[in-house]
Chains A and B, each alone.
Chain A
Amino acid sequence: MKKVTFKQQLLMELGVTLALYLFFQSLMSLGIINSYWRGIVITICINVVLTVSLNITSGFLGELALGHAGFMAAGAYISAVFSKSIALIPSVEFPLALLIGGLFAMFLGYLVSIPTLRLRGDYLAIITLAFGEIVRNVLLNIKLTGGAGGYSSIPKYTTFTWTFFIAAACVLLSKSLINSRQGRAIISIREDEIAAEASGINTNYYKKLAFIFSSFFAGVAGALYAHYMGFLQPAYFNLDKSIEILVMCVLGGMGNIMGSIISASILTILPEALRQIADYRMLVYAIVLIVMMLVKYAPQFEGLLNIFKPKKEEEA
């Protein structure tokens, strides 16, 4: 009986994914979603990948990672170099480029995860920040990719279909990860590292796993971005970009994948839809961060949040 629910769940997830795809695809072929909005939908999908993958380290593992833009940049540049120097048919070259972007970022993610074995919390956050800045600085100094001037004429392979299915894969795989024994191990480290060890969890291994998983998808997102824009500049991948992804993650709820999807969508559309507030974007982000934290974690505001929360029976 239960075996069926597992299968049903899987079928349902795939069904919803396919239905969503067909929905968007038909709106696009009917011209209801024009090419401008198609671009926004693609950006949303890229942001979903970034936000959900950041959520693995920041929300589930519980380590504040401030260098997500660095992984993205690494994936973007390496994949762009690959597809500019190799001439295969696009349907082979592009997936390879995505994979290479992901794998390279994953390798860097592995390197960044090494300090996590000794450090936690604030110090680790600073290390990830330093990592992001190093990546950007190094990119500024690499001649092959044009340094600060930027890297142009990257083949524009990124389509809605590719982006959508990669975002869906990222979401579904993250969800499965969280519900597997590996995912529970990752969450248990956030909750209590010492108790996790005492329960037989190799915490070092799972910390690395979380970072590798997260950076892989950040790299893939970077590769998608590179082949969507056709042009890359190190300045794009600055601390602001990492913070922007963090804001999406925080607004949707740390450790909430569905929330990440929704907030990535909202925070992508909002500045586009309301051009006049675009200048205030970073200011709004700042306020979102502070208010979210206060409302969620400050005892003074606890009552405020309960108004929105449906009453749970377990609290009775």
Chain B
Amino acid sequence: MNKAELEKKVGKITKDVEEKITSMGAPVEEITNDSVSVEVFPNRPDLLSLSGFSRSLNQYLGKEKIAKFKIENDKKIEKDYKVKIDKSVKKVRPHTACAIVKGLKLDDEKIKEIVDIQEKLHMSIGRKRKKIAIGIYPMEKIKLPIQFMAKKPNDIKFVPLESPGMKEMTGAQILRGHPAGRDYADLLKDAEVYPIFIDANNKVMSMPPIINSHETGKIDEKTKEVFIECSGFNLPYLKKCLNIIVSAFSDMGGKIYSMDIEDSVDGNFVSPDLEPEKLEFKVSDMNKTLGLELDEKEVKKYLEMMGIGFESNNKKTFALIPAYRTDILHWIDLTEEIAIAYGYENFKPEIPAISTTAEEDKNARTKKVIANILAGLGLLECSSFHLAKKNDVKKMHYEMTNEDFIEIVDSKTEYDVLRVDLLSNLLKIFSENSDSQYPQKIFEIGKVFEKDKSPLAKRSETGIIEKEKLSVAVVDESVNFMDARQILDYLFKMLDIEQDKYKIEDVENSDYIQGRVGKIVVHGKEVGFIGEVAPRVLKNWKIKMPVSAFEIDLEALGMISN
């Protein structure tokens, strides 16, 4: 927001006001000499315009009363103030909500604000124009009444805004050849017909959600009156969006005029409707949820700070929700409004005396025990990412194909798969720490992932099996199999797995040196591997010294249960 423009409306932005803005629920990100940036949460699109933001801030600071928006022609709507929704458009973009605003005195700053709010609404509640597309037209260029209809892409012909060479284009050409057309082509991808607004002279005004016509043009400093439409799929949202825009226009000094929307399919209505919505609530519910003891008067005060009206009669209490608020679905949404007005910093934190029993997860405790045993042997615990790089995994598991990997879609990082083992991570650590003191003895406990290939009925919820594993690795100039074996023996002994309950069975595994690798079998069940890592693997990782390691499945070992 332009700081000078904002200060015109709300007064000087002091440190104190800055804090108030954050307490109001729009955390200040940066204030410079000429701009103020705040974060607006998705539930408050009405704060996205300078007008809307300063309206709410002034109310919050107690400088402004609840906004009342007047409809100039509420007694009788002029005959031509009409938008007819043709049946043809129902298949592609079924709804629109429209309004007329007059008496505007626009300047550069205001025009910028209008363009800006339109863009921000498109991006946020409009979901990049998919749900809502907004059009604003200077009244002097169009003739009422207006029709919202759909035609075949090739039957639509007009000169779009920013048309290359000011050429007339068909609907289909715009999607292929116009920059905005290409950007939003997806939104009309499979449509047989494209929606258009046309005026009483049959001139195409726009083809939502893509582009306006060059002829009906853009608003400029000479524009005094505008026609506004919001088109999309969900009428209640469209109405709210329109309300946000017209309230902002009204704050700029515009006068709002209603239109008749003729919809032979879903029913006629008058647009816009700026009557506040009346929502019944109980003060006691507010107090119970917030842990406060407010009376009606206080609740009224706090709601009004948030721009919400308050009414009570016959022992019933009502909140009057301004037409531009999209986020108040039921009474629970009022609790936050009151909390914000009360001030989060003014709540007294309290811990209630409710009796519950604490309990640590048993598996987590077991893992801690194992980690402590190994730390006691002088091993360093490491902690690496659960995501891995496919190429790193293949340094050991060269036989893995793309099929075997659990891949990430469009990762923004270099990590593109879920890890399949822990030992690869430990080798990576050795590879990156060749300048650190030797010997290096490390371990990690954590999850590894594999595809669940069992039939659908038996498959896990996510189709992925997550296994809790332990890996230990030692590297030094003269490390051999025994260095890992020693650690395994001690660990098993401490876990009460006696020597006669497990054995290391000779096995073929080219990840390790032949004759120095074995399957670890406990109570007749295979739980993992132990061995000297094959020189091929060490070379791949650029590790210059021998590595001896083991990796075991803690669930198979019976240490962890699911």
| Bound pair (A, B) | no
- Residue numbers of B with Cβ under 8 A of A are none
- Residue numbers of A with Cβ under 8 A of B are none
